[in-house]
Amino acid sequence: MTLKLARSIGESLARTRNAVFSRVAALVGASEVTEATWGEIEDLLIQADVGVDTTLYLVDRLRRRARDEAMLQEGKLRQALREELRALLPDPRPLHLDDAAMSVLLMIGVNGSGKTTSIAKLAHHLRLEGRTVLLAAGDTFRAAASDQLDVWAQRAGVDIVRGPDGGDPGAVAFDAIHSGLAHHTDVVIVDTAGRLHTQFNLMAELQKIHRVISKAVDGAPHETILVLDATTGQNALSQARHFQEAVEVTGALMAKLDSTAKGGIVFSVARELGLPVLFLGTGERIGDLVPFDADAFVDGLMKQDIQGD
């Protein structure tokens, strides 16, 4: 079905690859790498939102390796770049789901980051794995947010629990969890309203939703997933820090990787926040979600082909 149409990690990285990594690869692949070349490489990586700290660390590692003359032959420095990029990323881990009992996933993030769409994709993904899924329309703040989730729930073929507009999102999460328990649902995914760290009441509300979920089921939420919009680059990092201060964030989902040349943000999130990247959003369709794969990610940035994807 949608699987064969889904965009792969490599395809979704086309913009980042073409704008930055293919140029970095060409620079390190040259027979001579000068001081000016290293400066150019730094600029490109920063442009791709790899982040200043991570860029300086990476270039320093590469420069050490390039001191060995033999590295400049036969594209060995290119291979070294690939290895150093891969070393920045932790080995991917699967979602923490309780196979013996119901699991609850809480999805959080700023306005428009891609939470609702990603929830639908995640529901679809989990269904393809043979799990039953129930959605909780916990965004009672924005008018029509529940309707939006409802449309996605139908596309994903899963049920949804809604509350009144303007109602208590904690109560919606609670109702969904109890409905899920009654129906032996495998996974309940809770949507939340978009919020900024400056909105004190909304951040406090998020802490309350988290508390309600943790009291309702042992070990819940099994994951609190921060949905980050990859197109916002380094802003995503400061957003993540604020959310991490409010609740225990267990992983990140990088949405809209296909729409940006700033895919280097994934390295910053992994290295500077120490946050596992669980999934990548690779498009607007329900199948456009891939579990994060560090090897495929680096291969997608480094692969050489004429079409660019």
Residues that bind Mg ion (CB under 5 A): 115-116
Sign of the C-alpha dihedral, residues 149, 153, 154, 159? negative
Nearer to ligand GTP, 22 or 117 (CB): 117
Nearer to ligand GTP, 10 or 283 (CB): 283
Q: Are strands 289-291 and 277-281 parallel, antiparallel or unpaired?
A: antiparallel
115 binds ligand GTP (CB under 6 A): yes
Q: Which alpha helices (H) appear in 30-161, and where do they start and end?
A: 35-47, 52-66, 76-88, 115-128, 145-156
Stretch that binds ligand GTP, among 48-56, 111-119, 126-134, 205-213 (CB under 6 A): 111-119
113 binds ligand GTP (CB under 6 A): yes
Nearer to ligand GTP, 165 or 284 (CB): 284
Nearer to Mg ion, 102 or 120 (CB): 120
CA 136, CA 98: separation in Å to the nearest integer?
18
Q: Which amino acid is at 70?
A: A
CA 277, CA 123: separation in Å to the nearest integer?
18
Nearer to Mg ion, 77 or 190 (CB): 190
Near ligand GTP by CB under 6 A: residue from 112, 157, 164, 308: 112
From the CB of 2, what's the least distance to ligand GTP, in Å? 14
Q: Is 307 exposed, middle or buried (0-12, 13-18, 19+ CB in 10 A)?
A: exposed
Q: Which helix (H) or strand (E) holds 104?
A: strand 103-108
16 binds ligand GTP (CB under 6 A): no
Near ligand GTP by CB under 6 A: residue from 14, 126, 145, 266: 145
CA nearest 301: which of 2, 19, 5, 4? Answer: 19
The three-class DSSP label of residue 37 is helix
Q: Which does 142 bind (CB under 5 to 8 A by kind): Mg ion, ligand GTP, none?
A: ligand GTP
**Greatest Cα pair distance in the chain:** 68
* Number of chain residues interacting with ligand GTP (CB under 6 A): 22
259 binds ligand GTP (CB under 6 A): yes
CA 9, CA 301: separation in Å to the nearest integer?
9
Question: Other C-beta atoms within 10 Å of 39: how many?
Answer: 11
Nearer to Mg ion, 116 or 268 (CB): 116
Q: Which does 256 bind (CB under 5 to 8 A by kind): ligand GTP, Mg ion, none?
A: ligand GTP
Q: Which residues bind to ligand GTP, rule: CB under 6 A?
A: 109, 111-118, 139, 142, 145, 194, 255-256, 258-259, 281-284, 288
